[in-house]
Structure 1
Amino acid sequence: MIARFLLLASVAGASIITPDAFAQDAAQPAADDVQQPNVRGDVIVVTARRRQETAQEVPLAISVIRGDSIEATGNFNIVKLQQLAPTLQVYTTNPRNTSVNIRGLGVPFGLTSDGFEQGVGIYVDDVYNSRVAAATFDFLDVAQVEVLRGPQGTLYGKNTTAGAINITTNQPTFDFEGRAELTVGNLNYKQAKAAVSGPLTDTIAARIAIAATSRRGTLYNVTSQRWINEQDNLGIRGQLLFKPNDDFSVTLSGDYSKQDPECCGTTFVRVGKTQRALARQYDALAAAQNYVVPSRNPYDRLSDLDSNLNAGNKIGGVSAKIKWDVGPGTLTSVTAWRFWDWKPENDRDFTGLSIVAKSQNPSQQDQYSQEFRYNYESEKVDFVLGLFGFKQRIDTQGTEQQGSAASKWSLTGALANDPSVLEGLTASNTQWLKSTSAALFGQVSWKVTDALTIQPGARINYDKKSGFYERIVTNGAGAVISCTPTPTAGSVLAAQCGVYQPQVSAPSDSAWNFTYDFNVNYKVARDVLAYATYAKSFKTLGINQNGLPLNADNSVNYDAGTVKPESVNHYEIGLKTQFWDRRATFNLSAFRTDIKNFQATVNGGQFGTVRGYLANAEKVRSQGIEADLKIVASDRFTAYANGAYTDAQYKKFTNAPCPPELSGGTLQPSGQAADYSQPGVPGALSPRQCDISGQTLPGVSKWAFSYGAEYNIPVTLLAKEGQAYLGVDGNYRSHWNSNASPSIYTDVKGYALTNFRAGFRGEGFDIFGWVRNAFDVDYIENLQVAPGNTGLIAGQVGDPQTWGGTIKVSF
């Protein structure tokens, strides 16, 4: 570990490259320090610890990304933001099924369930966004984004075990100002943004912002003869600030965002042999139905999906934030209501055959949150004390229906030749989730000396979850079927029950938790801060809300209804430094996180559940090193380089579902030790469960880097004085696995992307051209295992080379 730490430090030290607009942990000189030359001349203020302070003063690993950097590098939502923050991993197959992880932890990778909590909290202006679908929307008039790494439960309302993304938008001003931005590019890309702010009276100011993005899809569907996986986003936010004096303010905010793209489809990537009989695997089944995929090269960007596709997504809400300076501290109240409306349509079989003719699980969510905080600051002691309440309800109405090709694809013998056995077989799901959470939390900073600060924190948390799930199954004639008692083997009813089984479950549980953290930080020198942190954290209990898996005899496994809370032990040390008259900032951190009862999304390969369900892995560990470097060499040149090494693995997971190469065959005898010796051998016996202890967590690259640089020269163009500039930024991620139980078929190759921009900016305007993925690198964003253990692996390919131009004006 020490060797890796030094290696990463040397790599970061040698890679002196970052963009001018990227504000990575810049610092403000202390008030009593002798002021040194500062060629940049700006100060990065953060609210990571619920008070305003400079980033270098915060004794935790934090990346600060300014709004102008987000715009300059084309990273217009959290999904794209990972290109600037190496330890942030964001993977999405559609807005609902989006994983936001930090250091490999946070959300179980794979299909999203409503029954678990987010380990990475997403906050917009202090309001917690419970559904990760919010991460896919455009940033709207954002001032900066803070990515906090590690548990944050003693500072933030909703407990977060892996970190928090703290998004701050531009606030109303009492000076009139405005800005507008227009971008056009290839793939018919159009993006427009505008914001206006100013006073309504001496004590009331308002701000309104709007953004719209559209782009042609990147995957051509030969069946519908349309480009799919397009972008179609619209967002608006309005804010009203009432500030009668310097000690009191009320900010009312409302926002609404809408997406309505034809999305999100996949393309054929590869076939991997399973243990199913060879005649029942993908190539043989496709040949038997004279089915030929449009291309076996995913980078031809062709698909033939035959079901409707939709990713209709609406998110919005209102909030009221009150700040009142009371005595030596500040009292803050944040009251919010948010909603989420999700209307999807998917092609779940990933082929042009009508195997699954319909798959959709529309959801509606309402959430209410209330947070009170009191911040106190003095010469020797600072503290934050908070009270948080949260209530949420999610309703879902699901439909999955088998198509005309389902019998041939899924059955054997005479039944396989009778399309009516499965055609029209429909599972109709009704479900709801109620979640309530309350917490008392706080953190104290005791300045023992001018250099030494001790910072303990604690949290008391209560959670209650209750859910309901009912699946009614009807055959092609519309008659309700029952699978109790167990139907006769080989019958039509047995075949139907093998695909969809009626089930009802009503899991409910509650839990109290007490957690704490302890930080010691020491100012070694004026611009050198060392810190060490221990945190005892948790993620609350989870329930399976999307249908339960089946046992070997096709009965429902009700034991899987709930999952235990995670227990987290986190250790971290770090060093935050500045040198060269504060023109250079170099920060290092090393961490280790141990989790018991890790909540993992696993894949049983069945049609009868929503492919993924929650289970507990006994032990998980994530450890690694992070390095961040920024250089402001002069007014003409700035650069950055960030790097991360993350080793995240299942330390103990003994009863995980098996990967596809060890699935699909007749199950090995009960009670017999699992035999893993015949992966991908058709007809071989399949283990009932697999021990994947020691294997890497899905979605995690061991190595990740980002870098950038910008150089400018003063010029006069068309009688306008300004700067001509050239910028580059890029990122690299090593390979990672996209299946919950790592598979040889779902290993995603590493890739490196490079972006360029060049333009001219002056007072109140900026005009530049850009090219992203400049070298047109072929890469995969995600791989998925098709249900049924046929060996089909589908995926979503990353964006090709894109280019365009942007005009920005401000006044």
Structure 2
Amino acid sequence: MLVSGGKARGVRREHRTVLVLVPVALAASPLAVRAEADNTLPPVIVTAERIPGPADKAPVSVAVVSQEDIEKKGLFQLNDLVGIVAGMAVPNGYSNMPQTVGLRGVGVSQPAMAQAVGIYVDDVPLLRGYATALWDLPDVVRYEVLRGPQGTLYGQNATAGAVKIVSADPDQITGSWVSAGLGNLGQREARGLFAGQLSPDLSASLAVSRRANDGFGYNATRHEDINKLDATQFRAKVKVRAGSSAHITFAVDGLLDRSDTNTTNYPLNHENAAPRVSYNASDAGAFKRKAGGASATAEWDVGAGMKLRSITAYRGYTDDPTVADWSGLEVERYEISQQVRQRTFSQELQMVWRGTDLDLVAGAMLLRDRFDFNRYVTAFPLAAPAPGYTQALTHQETRDLGLYAQGHLRLTDRLSATLGLRGYNTRQDAANAFWRTNAQFVPTQQVYDAPQLHTSEHGLLPRVGVDFNASPTTFLYASVARGEKFAGFNRAAESLISAGVAARPEKVTTYETGVKLRTAPERLTVNAAAFYNDYKDYLASLSGTTVNGVLVTDTVFLNAASARTYGVDLEAEKGLTADVSITSAVEWLRANFRSFLNPSGAAAGDFTGHTLPYAPRWSVALGLKGRRSMAGGLVTADAWLQYIDQQFIDAANTAALRAPRQTYLNFALTYAPDGSRWQASLRVRNATDRAYALARSRIPALGIDAAYYNAPRTVMANLRYDL
């Protein structure tokens, strides 16, 4: 449903629009400078196969979002990549919401469970879907989005692919800078990057970011702005060299997020319903997140083409509190208050060997994850005389061990083969409990207690592929890969039976073939891939199903279906003139259930043939960018269009819940005076101010019909100074 950007009748809201100035241009690499002089597109180096190499020779579908695009386009959270990276879905649009990421119609599931798209920061895995979205740090040099199963090199829970957030080491940063900006809706930001060589063998860097706004929504009952962003981040790195063959990089990062949770409670069933307007009378929306981690990455060049690497990391987050109202109505219908805590230790040991005819990566990975979840719920059914109060507790300890190896063997000067295999063993020990409470959330009746739950899974994840250099400008590849996603026990289960269900891993086998073109005189790059996903043991939340012969009325997370997805990805860039180029990223996708568990047997419960959730048939990004010397400086301009086709958000393909087609038009302009340390930028997102009701929630028994909306038009101007 497309609705206008207007406000409800009688609602007054001040819109502050301030045009400011920004930074963006970072020091160009020598390769990029040479490419510009030769009138070619600069090469792109990625680490998709855990070995640095050119993207146009990597036998995998990988989308790369550069540092220049991150800064100019304001791509500071995972959802910002939707419509930029072909085939990527992130249903929750705000960074403090639990995030799920899907690729090619695979992967969108419950955020608190293991995810099908692995997210990595400098090769450190981020587990589950909390505290993964916001990476607004100026030392991020690129995003790499790998499509298709990446289990061999990146582990279980990379069934649909992986997103790599890559930051610069201190000795890769050529200068320091600070920036500040203002925008409409009370937007303000301050960012800085500081780096230096402290001694011949010691370098350090510090990246900081502060971002806030006055809110994208309005509460017409409390007369206050809501849906506010308030986040502060930092990352510090120290790199120590031990001679010419070894170094170790220490990193620590942190996030303090005091945004509010008024993101999904914009009612559609209110008489004065309007985009981004809520009527909740209570002060629901409190939120505080503390997140961060530390890592040590050691590398040793032992000679003869061999390198050893150790990556040790500890990460965690605490959400306390998270208070959210779902109805957005004056009379409370459903409110949650929860605390979430996660602590994760990871250790990876890796060997990389580059030989004349063989490149080999092998290693071992250990993950230990502790997850604690405490949720209080107030529910007021329309037919009930009084609200009900409950408390759900979940504790999970998960250990995952993986051993892997992948080799790229050159059979001839032009033909190569890839063989990879990962063996894994995952164990989860868990406890679930559920109480009924009074209004002060003091337990009054224990529904069940399941203190000792245990499950384990093991398996092999293979990858087989061939690639062929058809010419110096044309690269062809084909592959078959297997991915699995660990399921484990339900979270916040409401009955003893559902609490004790441990689902099997979700499995995907992907068949892919692709072509990559790169022609220098025409300044043209094309990356295209066709894929087919065979999807088994699809995980879904079902109610009214039978477990071990017993009817379960509450929701159970279990293996419910088999499915297939297939389609084509296409990404291209063409230099039109020496100063102007056009870009495109397109995916055509079909995704359907081949079978689906139907507990009731009724025709209405038969989802076979339905479209998978969050699998739009088309996603398109078109861009135009140019640069020109004028007015005593360098001007760069970008315009890009994002189109996301309509999509269902549930397996039942409920028409009323279908997300509408979305179209966004965006602009960015940067001016850097010659010989000056200053740069000024202007960025406009959603320039036509479209408002779309997304992620709709309908619970008739509670009188809930609400949605979250995309961000309105935002204008941000920024000024940067190079120190």
User: Paired residue for 1:514, among 460, 467, 483?
Assistant: 460
Shift of 1:40: 4.5
Whichever residue aligns with residue 692 of structure 2, its letter is Y
- Aligned CA distance change for structure 1 residues 476 and 780 (closer, same or farther; 3 Å): closer
Quote the residue 2:212 is aligned against: 214
User: Paired residue for 1:616, among 559, 562, 575?
Assistant: 559
User: Paired residue for 1:347, among 310, 325, 337?
Assistant: 325
Alpha-carbon distance in structure 1 between the residues aligned to 2:135 and 2:419: 37
User: Paired residue for 1:312, among 273, 288, 291?
Assistant: 288
The answer as to whether partners of 1:384 and 1:442 remain within 8 angstroms in 2 is yes
Shift of 1:200: 1.2
Alpha-carbon distance in structure 1 between the residues aligned to 2:497 and 2:230: 40
The answer as to whether partners of 1:643 and 1:705 remain within 8 angstroms in 2 is yes
The answer as to whether partners of 1:178 and 1:196 remain within 8 angstroms in 2 is yes
- Aligned CA distance change for structure 1 residues 544 and 715 (closer, same or farther; 3 Å): same
Alpha-carbon distance in structure 1 between the residues aligned to 2:439 and 2:238: 55
Shift of 1:22: 12
The answer as to whether partners of 1:455 and 1:520 remain within 8 angstroms in 2 is yes
Quote the residue 1:32 is aligned against: none
User: Paired residue for 1:379, among 334, 356, 364?
Assistant: 356
Q: Compare 781-790 and 81-90 and name the one that shifted more.
A: 781-790
User: Paired residue for 1:751, among 641, 655, 662?
Assistant: 662
The answer as to whether partners of 2:534 and 2:564 remain within 8 angstroms in 1 is yes
Quote the residue 2:127 is aligned against: 130
Alignment partner of 1:435 is 2:398: yes
Quote the residue 1:106 is aligned against: 107
Whichever residue aligns with residue 454 of structure 2, its letter is S
1:521-560 to 2 correspondence within 5 Å?
A: 521-548=467-494, 557-558=497-498
TM-score, structure 1 length as denominator? 0.80
Q: Deviation digits for residues 341-400 of structure 1, max 9, x if unmatched?
A: 1120011444321333x4112111110000011111011011100100000101122212
- Aligned CA distance change for structure 1 residues 586 and 198 (closer, same or farther; 3 Å): same
The answer as to whether partners of 1:294 and 1:302 remain within 8 angstroms in 2 is no
- Aligned CA distance change for structure 1 residues 781 and 192 (closer, same or farther; 3 Å): farther
Q: Deviation digits for residues 689-740 of structure 1, max 9, x if unmatched?
A: x1111111112211000011122321243xxxx2223320120001011234
- Aligned CA distance change for structure 1 residues 610 and 204 (closer, same or farther; 3 Å): farther
User: Paired residue for 2:437, among 463, 474, 487?
Assistant: 474
Shift of 1:302: 3.8
Q: Compare 209-218 and 137-146 and name the one that shifted more.
A: 137-146
Whichever residue aligns with residue 78 of structure 1, its letter is L
Q: Deviation digits for residues 298-322 of structure 1, max 9, x if unmatched?
A: 3263433535212322210100000
Q: Name the SS of the counterpart of 1:164 in structure 2.
A: strand
Q: Name the SS of the counterpart of 2:669 in structure 1.
A: strand
User: Paired residue for 1:299, among 266, 269, 275?
Assistant: 275
The answer as to whether partners of 1:602 and 1:741 remain within 8 angstroms in 2 is no
User: Paired residue for 2:369, among 392, 398, 416?
Assistant: 392
Shift of 1:268: 4.5
Alpha-carbon distance in structure 2 between the residues aligned to 1:476 and 1:177: 56
- Aligned CA distance change for structure 1 residues 130 and 148 (closer, same or farther; 3 Å): same
Alpha-carbon distance in structure 1 between the residues aligned to 2:688 and 2:442: 56
Q: Deviation digits for residues 520-576 of structure 1, max 9, x if unmatched?
A: 000111110110000122222321021146xxxxxx544872111122211000000
Alpha-carbon distance in structure 2 between the residues aligned to 1:196 and 1:708: 31
Shift of 1:809: 3.0
- Aligned CA distance change for structure 1 residues 649 and 149 (closer, same or farther; 3 Å): same
User: Paired residue for 1:727, among 638, 645, 651?
Assistant: 638
Whichever residue aligns with residue 528 of structure 1, its letter is T
The answer as to whether partners of 1:728 and 1:754 remain within 8 angstroms in 2 is yes
Which stretches in structure 2 are left out of the alignment for 5+ residues?
Answer: 1-23, 546-551
Alpha-carbon distance in structure 2 between the residues aligned to 1:223 and 1:381: 67
User: Paired residue for 1:195, among 187, 193, 200?
Assistant: 193
Q: Deviation digits for residues 448-493 of structure 1, max 9, x if unmatched?
A: 011000001001000001211111213459885558xxxxxxxxxx
1:22-37 to 2 correspondence within 5 Å?
A: none
Quote the residue 1:426 is aligned against: 389
- Aligned CA distance change for structure 1 residues 439 and 480 (closer, same or farther; 3 Å): closer
Q: Name the SS of the counterpart of 2:711 in structure 1.
A: coil
Alpha-carbon distance in structure 1 between the residues aligned to 2:643 and 2:147: 20
Alpha-carbon distance in structure 2 between the residues aligned to 1:366 and 1:650: 35
- Aligned CA distance change for structure 1 residues 190 and 601 (closer, same or farther; 3 Å): farther
Quote the residue 1:86 is aligned against: 86
The answer as to whether partners of 2:478 and 2:513 remain within 8 angstroms in 1 is yes
User: Paired residue for 2:419, among 456, 461, 468?
Assistant: 456
Alpha-carbon distance in structure 1 between the residues aligned to 2:133 and 2:541: 21
- Aligned CA distance change for structure 1 residues 642 and 199 (closer, same or farther; 3 Å): same
Alpha-carbon distance in structure 2 between the residues aligned to 1:366 and 1:132: 13
The answer as to whether partners of 1:268 and 1:295 remain within 8 angstroms in 2 is no
1:586-625 to 2 correspondence within 5 Å?
A: 586-602=526-542, 613-625=556-568
Quote the residue 1:334 is aligned against: 311
Q: Compare 534-543 and 118-127 and name the one that shifted more.
A: 534-543
Q: Deviation digits for residues 83-131 of structure 1, max 9, x if unmatched?
A: 31121111217635221111121231xx533xx3211111111111113
1:628-777 to 2 correspondence within 5 Å?
A: 628-655=571-598, 673-676=601-604, 690-717=605-632, 722-762=633-673, 764-777=677-690
Q: Name the SS of the counterpart of 1:131 in structure 2.
A: coil
Quote the residue 1:577 is aligned against: 517
Alignment partner of 1:361 is 2:338: yes
Alignment partner of 1:786 is 2:699: yes
Quote the residue 1:14 is aligned against: none
- Aligned CA distance change for structure 1 residues 696 and 735 (closer, same or farther; 3 Å): same
Quote the residue 2:9 is aligned against: none
Quote the residue 1:488 is aligned against: none
TM-score, structure 2 length as denominator? 0.89
Alpha-carbon distance in structure 2 between the residues aligned to 1:27 and 1:563: 51
Q: Deviation digits for residues 259-313 of structure 1, max 9, x if unmatched?
A: 1112234345546xxxxxxxxxxxxxxxxxxxxx3623x3263433535212322
Alpha-carbon distance in structure 1 between the residues aligned to 2:111 and 2:700: 16
Question: Greater share of strand residues, 1 or 2?
Answer: 2
The answer as to whether partners of 2:266 and 2:276 remain within 8 angstroms in 1 is no
- Aligned CA distance change for structure 1 residues 300 and 167 (closer, same or farther; 3 Å): closer
Shift of 1:651: 1.6
Whichever residue aligns with residue 807 of structure 1, its letter is L
Q: Name the SS of the counterpart of 1:106 in structure 2.
A: coil
Quote the residue 2:11 is aligned against: none
Alpha-carbon distance in structure 1 between the residues aligned to 2:46 and 2:187: 33
The answer as to whether partners of 1:157 and 1:386 remain within 8 angstroms in 2 is no
Q: Deviation digits for residues 305-340 of structure 1, max 9, x if unmatched?
A: 535212322210100000001132111100000011
Alpha-carbon distance in structure 1 between the residues aligned to 2:479 and 2:532: 11
Whichever residue aligns with residue 599 of structure 1, its letter is L
How many residue pairs were aligned? 685
- Aligned CA distance change for structure 1 residues 180 and 478 (closer, same or farther; 3 Å): closer
Q: Name the SS of the counterpart of 2:132 in structure 1.
A: helix
Alpha-carbon distance in structure 2 between the residues aligned to 1:588 and 1:473: 54
Q: Compare 611-620 and 188-197 and name the one that shifted more.
A: 611-620
Whichever residue aligns with residue 683 of structure 2, its letter is W
User: Paired residue for 1:173, among 171, 174, 179?
Assistant: 171
Q: Deviation digits for residues 205-243 of structure 1, max 9, x if unmatched?
A: 000110010012111112332211111110011000001
- Aligned CA distance change for structure 1 residues 265 and 391 (closer, same or farther; 3 Å): same
Whichever residue aligns with residue 364 of structure 1, its letter is R
The answer as to whether partners of 1:320 and 1:335 remain within 8 angstroms in 2 is yes
Whichever residue aligns with residue 235 of structure 1, its letter is Q
